[in-house]
Amino acid sequence: MVEPHNYRTVGYSMIMISASLVVIGLLYLAIGDDVLYSDHVGKEKQLEYKQMLEEKAKQNEAQPQGKNLSVDLNEEMNVRNNP
């Protein structure tokens, strides 16, 4: 009678499971006890984005603003009323 189990497939599966556990262990060692690592990275990026927006707002305030009569263009126009 032929053995119904495929030992080679089972062996490869066990190797894959152990490799994935090793990868998880290495990630744990790299990150350490900081379980909120992604949360901290996200907050840092959000802070950088807010600072960038504030800098752009300051630059826009420093530049003289004219009336822009165009719809989708960011061109500055000097509009004067002649008496």
20-75 tens-digit pLDDT: 999 999 988 888 777 788 888 899 999 999 999 999 888 877 666 565 555 555 55
The domain total for the chain is: 1
Rounded CA-CA distance 58/63 in Å is 9
pLDDT tens-digit readout, 8-25: 888 999 999 999 999 999
Residue 67 confidence (pLDDT)? 58
What was the pLDDT predicted at 60?
A: 77
Contact between 77 and 66 (Cβ < 8 Å): yes
The answer to whether position 15 is within a domain reads yes
Residue 2 forms part of a structural domain = no
Whether residue 45 lies inside any domain: the answer is yes
Which residue segment(s) compose the domain that 26 sits in? 7-60
Q: What is the pTM of this model?
A: 0.40
